[in-house]
Chains A and B, each alone.
Chain A
Amino acid sequence: MATTKFRHVFGRLWGFATSCKKRTTSSSNSIGTRILQRDVEKEEFQFASTLCLSSYYSVFVVRLAIMVMLAILIGLLTILTWHFTKIYTTKSLNSLAYDLRYELLQRPILRMWNILNSTSEITIAQVKLSQYVIRSHGNLTTQEDQVEMYEAMRAVTWALFASRKALNSITVKYNNGFVQAFHRDIKDNNTFYIYSDLANYSIGASGYNSELNYSSLSSQESSWNDNDNKSTVWYRQPLDPVTGEKIEKAMQIAPEDSIHIAGLSQVPDGVASWRVAVSKFTDSPLLSAALPVWDSSNKSIVAVVGVTTALYSVGQLMKELVELHSGHMYLTSLEGYLLATSTDAPLLDNSTQPPKLKMAVDCENEVIRLGAEYLRRSSGNKFPPSHEVHVANVRLGHDRYYIDSFFLNLKRLPLVGVIIIPRKHILGQVDERAFKTLVILISASMCIIVIGWVCILILTNGVSKEMKLRAELISQLEARRKAEASSNYKSQFLANMSHELRTPMAAIIGLLDILMSDDCLTNEQCATVTQIRKCSTALLRLLNNILDISKVESGKLVLEDAEFDLGRELEGLVDMFSVQCINHSVETVLDLSDDMPKLVRGDSARVVQIFANLINNSIKFTPSGHVILRGWFENPNPCSDNANFLMEEKKLQYAQKTIRAKQHENHAKRTSERDKKAVLWFEVDDTGCGIDPSKWDSVFESFEQADPSTTRLHGGTGLGLCIVRSLVNKMGGEIKVVKKEGPGTLMRLYLRLDTAGDATEQHCLVDIANNGLVVLLALHGNMGRSITSKWLQKNGVFTMEASEWNGLTQILRELFHARSSAGINNGFDVHYPIPESLKSRLLSIQEIRNPVFVIAVDIGLLDLSTDIWKEQLNFLHRYLGLAKFIWVLNHDTSNTIKLELRRKGHMMTVNKPLYKAKIVHILEEVIKERNHEMQKKNMDELHESDYTHCDAASSDDSDISESAPCNPVSSTEKFEQFDLLSRYRINNCLIGLTDEHSEVKTPRKEDSCQNNHNSPKSMSAEQAYFPREAHQGEDSERRGKEEHRIIGGLARPANGKKSLEGLRILLAEDTPVIQRVATIMLEKMGASVVAVGDGQQAVDALNGMLGVEDFRRDSNLNERNTRSSSPQTEILSSPSYDLVLMDCQMPKMDGYEATKAIRKSEVGSGVHIPIVALTAHAMSCDEAKCLEVGMDAYLTKPIDFKLMESTILSLTRRTTS
């Protein structure tokens, strides 16, 4: 029961401890999860780890405490259990043992008492009887009387003697010396009658005795008795013990030989006397009593009666008792003489004569002797009356005993009874059991403690292991955090470094540009400088890549979220790359499906960067063939009618793969539906060397290239694709290399972009179809041609294709055979058999009523190497009336050809590549023109001029923005129509310039800019046409022309015109130094500047609240400024500004606030004044902030002359229209 109890207690304790532990671990655990979840601060971390460690140690301490407590508890329980069992048993047993001992001793004492009583009774009876007999024989005068009396006495005495078996003897001694005695020999069980010789006793003697005066008796008696005894003869006659008959003859014995006869000396004062006597015949002490027998007158003692009782029976009883209970008992007199013992040890000391009683301390029995000695020691010699001793635990010899003594106060014979019982007898079992129990308890509790400890160890071991693991985990997290921090440092370092590196690079490039614009260089020097310029640009690009990657890695890349025209961006991209590809025989084709959303929201620069990198890569590895950028829209609500031919083609081409792709798309679709974002799929397909399938994944890693040798061949760092993947992932998309039939690589990616407005609307394929259009595509590149052709066919336009000059002529002849009856005979007319397919086509075309022929001729089809092209041109010119010609020019098409075309009236020219938007524009133009034509058919011949105008407008599309004399109404309309596109092109160039310094940049733009610098041909093409815009038209158009001139001036500042001529710029800058510097810079560029000291003034100035006087008063700088700046009057007259340069950190109102205010005031007015931020912060987040508040661009201090110029130009050009 005790064990269950403490098990219970132990269990509760254990539960408490574990709950404690759980609490601590759970708290640390929660911290741990927090640690896992986010990147915590160092302090927090340390706190957590110390907490964990402390809890770890506290668990250790708790474990120890529990173990110690357990040990103490079990020890206490053991001791208590043992104690209670022992004490209670001992107590009850002790009381029991006391009773037993008492009882045991009571019995021999009672026997003794009985003996004493019976002895005294018999003595009294004998005395009474003797008196009676003696009195009845009153006068003993004769011998016979005497004999008769003796006989009577003998009979009476015998009767008494026989009645008491315990009596040892009864003696009667008469005063005349006659002795009558009965003696019982207990050992032999013989009974004797002893008497003295009667003859010796005279009557006289008896008479003398009777006359004897009592007073004189005492003096004479002893001597008489002694003498008498010696002289008398005694006889002993054995008797039958039962009947008393004499069985043998009497033997003569010496007096007092066998028994002691009580004489007168024993009763000196006539009172009964008690004593313990020792007989020489028995080895046990005798108790003898003596009483005198008085005569009738009570004056003299007639006889003395003595009764002797052996104490042997008491010893016997003791023995019997002791046999039953073991132990020892003895009775002693008050003086310490042994009267009876329970042992066989002799009670008499035989060494002395006569034998004397032994003292208890001299007893031969060791136990009794030791007990007696102990008693004597404890209570001294004087044993006090009525003193009882009860000692429970006395060591006698080797054992322990109980000693109890009782005092028996008999009259004249006080007795002491002692009982010595070995403890073993009573408590032996108990002691043994108690000892065993103790041993068992101790061993059991030891076992339990050990087991408990082991259990605790095992249980807490798990916990401590967990804690150890946790601590380890924490330390490892710490290590990981450190590693991440160091990696972060690395990224940070890279970002900073590349940032720092770009500044000198910008300086280098700028200086090189200055150098190159100098005319004083020799050709050789110029070539070297150009080379340096190229290398610097490459280095800058590399730095930009590194910066991009580190930005992405450090998570600092923030994607812009602005609406942009995806199609136009991509067209611009393809335009640019097609320029780049001219030297390779690579065709760059853009193939966007019709359902692509026109406007999407996202970071246009980054999207362009993705494709620029991809296409750049493709071009790099494609020596010949084509690079196709395909794009299609995954409609969240699938409509079958939107399925474009592209998809169909793809299905045919990659039938086996579409399933997988579909699954992928479906997945993407599902997620997109959730985000309400459009999933745009793109493919970049090239016919280059391809990528080994095992490298498909690794090419997207940093510094990874499919083939190490590519670095040697093509250069590059392998960062491009890594950036692409990072960006794509950032836009919620994926990119991977897809298996492709044939050589080359097919990269497929999807982006998740917000579509702006109704994105899925089918945009303006207005009425290309059903207008009887027949398009003859005489284009060089197969891929582009077939894609265009397919797209046109899909939109209901008849197309025919020709890939070379001969094919073209053949088709032309076939087409116009019937119509142009004028026999065409030309050296170029080589007859080829017409393929059947073409024939059927021609037939079907002939069925079209009132067809409009549009012939797109690649300038490359003409033989430009010789002068044959002129002949060819003449040949085609013949068809001018029958069909519309669209000339697809290369970027490097020489001016002479262009001039020739123009001279001949071929006004519709586009630059390669010919993508959808261009075709749509052209065809729309054609249709409009035709309609126009038909309307005005009957009116006048004015259509001729209109015609040219339209051509001019169309050609606007291709950089050759030419404003020919035209009808004002239609010209503005058309100008605006194409304006967007052309402006975009120019902007691209300008942005390209600025982008070298700003962080948003793509290789494409640099390339285009590079192109501007490096390819004099294209530049000259522009410049050739700009000066011709000397048309003095409406005021509304003047601005635009100015811009054109400015662009010319930018490209070649040496032509004497200042780049920013006529611009009015508001400069908000508080630092006077910078204000001054910037003012001078801007003025140098030809702009007129108004400087204000803070944002508030800037806002006021823009709102026209600030008068001229205020300018002057506000800042003395302004005075200088106004003094020095010549176009002051202009500013005064029209306080509108073309641009604001806004410092970000200014007193009163900072740049951000000011911009916000300005933008706010602009709301509704439709005006958007470009605001350029000036800031000393060079981090991208500042840029983001700037753009966020509505600024348009971003310049860092110190102000870079060129950078500022280009930025301002790009912005003013963009906004002023």
Chain B
Amino acid sequence: MDVVTQMQRQLLQYTSSLFKEGFLDDQFNQLQQLQDESNPEFVVEVVTLFFEDAERLLNELSKSLEQESIDFRRVDAHVHQLKGSSSSIGAQRVQRVCIAFKNFCEQQNVEGCLKSLQEIKQEYSLVKTKLETLFKMEKQLFAAGGSVSR
């Protein structure tokens, strides 16, 4: 039982650190609230969806930006999507970079866009690792027989 409490505490600390460092925001809480008996894996599911979606979008973005004549409208649409999905899971750092990216897009600033893309990728991988760690911890906790207290 000690192990479980410790793990619970660790998980809590980790989660709160994620909030403090700004990786996640309130929206993630809402997601967690939505998870219940009928959808036990809801958060993981949505976040996985987000990962898939984001990776697809990032690929598209890289491709679009590599082209000689950049279709900014397309880029903008992608970024918009990414912004929407990131904000929906509460990955607010990604979302913020998305906003900056969108601005660059409107200014048709290629350098800014490329910079933003790098940032987004970085932020995305960060948040991905963090969330994966989080889920891993949760899984371990479950495996240990504990439950996530909220």
Contacts and interface: CB of A to CB of B under 8 A. Distances in A.
B34 to A, nearest CB: 5
A1081 B87 CA distance: 15
Interface string B68-93: 00000000010011011111111000
A18 B55 CA distance: 70
A231 interface: no
A563 B129 CA distance: 54
A1176 B26 CA distance: 16
Nearest to A1176: B84
A1044 to B, nearest CB: 27
Specify which of B84, B86, B87 lies most central, judged by the most chain A CB atoms within 10 Å of its CB.
Answer: B84
Interface stretch (A46-54, A594-602, A1068-1076): A1068-1076
B53 interface: yes
B39 A1071 contact: no
Interface residues of A, dominant DSSP: helix
B87 A1176 contact: yes
Interface string B49-74: 11011000000000000000000000
A1197 B87 CA distance: 7
A1073 B94 CA distance: 14
B39 A1072 contact: no
Contacts of B38: 1124
A756 interface: no
Interface of A: 507, 1070-1074, 1076-1077, 1080-1081, 1084, 1124, 1143, 1145, 1147, 1176, 1197-1199, 1201
A1009 B52 CA distance: 41
Given A1072-B85, A1074-B85, A1081-B34, 11 more contacts: A1073-B49, A1073-B85, A1077-B89, A1080-B34, A1143-B84, A1145-B77, A1176-B87, A1197-B84, A1197-B88, A1198-B87, A1198-B90
A183 B132 CA distance: 166
Contacts of A1176: 80, 83-84, 87
Nearest to B98: A1176
A1072 B55 CA distance: 13
12 contacts: A507-B26, A1072-B49, A1074-B85, A1076-B45, A1077-B31, A1081-B34, A1124-B38, A1145-B80, A1145-B81, A1197-B87, A1197-B88, A1198-B90
B46 interface: yes
A1084 B31 CA distance: 12
A187 B71 CA distance: 133
A1145 B76 CA distance: 11
User: What 9 A-B pairs come out closest when comparing CB atoms?
Assistant: A1073-B85, A1074-B88, A1073-B50, A1198-B87, A1071-B85, A1198-B27, A1080-B34, A1072-B49, A1073-B88
A1072 B88 CA distance: 10
B129 to A, nearest CB: 18
Contacts of A1143: 84
Nearest to A1117: B49
Contacts of B53: 1071-1073
Contact of B34 (A1070, A1072, A1077): A1077
Specify which of B34, B38, B88 lies most central, judged by the most chain A CB atoms within 10 Å of its CB.
Answer: B88
B147 interface: no
Contacts of B13: none
B42 interface: yes
Specify which of A507, A1073, A1145, A1147 lies most central, judged by the most chain B CB atoms within 10 Å of its CB.
Answer: A1073
B89 A1073 contact: yes
Given A1071-B53, A1071-B81, A1072-B49, A1077 B26 contact: no
Nearest to A1174: B84
A398 to B, nearest CB: 92
Contacts of B34: 1077, 1080-1081, 1084
A1198 B94 CA distance: 14
Nearest to A1177: B80
Interface in B14-38: 26-27, 30-31, 33-34, 36, 38
B108 to A, nearest CB: 17
Contacts of B45: 1076
B50 to A, nearest CB: 4
Nearest to A1120: B45
A1072 B52 contact: yes
Given A1080-B39, A1124-B39, A1145-B77, A1074 B52 contact: no
Size category, B interface: 20 to 34
Given A1084-B34, A1198-B90, A1077 B46 contact: yes
B80 A1199 contact: no
B46 A1076 contact: yes
Contacts of B77: 1145, 1147
A913 to B, nearest CB: 41
Nearest to B92: A1198
Nearest to B77: A1145
Contacts of B33: 1201
B93 to A, nearest CB: 14
B88 A1080 contact: no
A1071 B86 CA distance: 10
A1077 B43 CA distance: 9
A997 to B, nearest CB: 14
Contacts of B84: 1071, 1073-1074, 1143, 1145, 1176, 1197
A1143 B88 CA distance: 13
Contacts of A1147: 77
A1074 B31 CA distance: 11
A578 to B, nearest CB: 38
Contacts of B80: 1145, 1176
Contacts of A1077: 31, 34, 46, 88-89
Contacts of A1076: 45-46, 49
Nearest to B81: A1071
Contacts of A1198: 27, 30, 87-88, 90
Nearest to B91: A1073
A326 B77 CA distance: 115
A551 B120 CA distance: 32
A512 to B, nearest CB: 14
Contacts of B88: 1071, 1073-1074, 1077, 1197-1199
A1080 B87 CA distance: 16
Nearest to B87: A1198
Nearest to A1200: B30
Nearest to B27: A1198
A1071 B95 CA distance: 14
Nearest to B31: A1077
Specify which of B45, B52, B87 lies most central, judged by the most chain A CB atoms within 10 Å of its CB.
Answer: B87
Given A1080-B39, A1198-B27, A1070 B46 contact: no
B30 A1201 contact: yes
Contacts of A507: 26
Contact of B81 (A1070, A1124, A1199): A1070
Contacts of A1124: 38-39
Contacts of B85: 1071-1074
A1073 B46 contact: yes
Nearest to B46: A1076
B107 to A, nearest CB: 15
A619 to B, nearest CB: 36
Contacts of A1197: 84, 87-88
A1081 B39 CA distance: 11
B27 to A, nearest CB: 5
Nearest to B33: A1201
Contacts of B83: 1176
A542 B36 CA distance: 37
B127 to A, nearest CB: 13
A900 to B, nearest CB: 44
Nearest to A1069: B84
Specify which of B30, B33, B77 lies most central, judged by the most chain A CB atoms within 10 Å of its CB.
Answer: B30
Contacts of A1080: 34, 39, 42, 46
B89 to A, nearest CB: 6
A1197 B99 CA distance: 13
A1201 B30 CA distance: 8
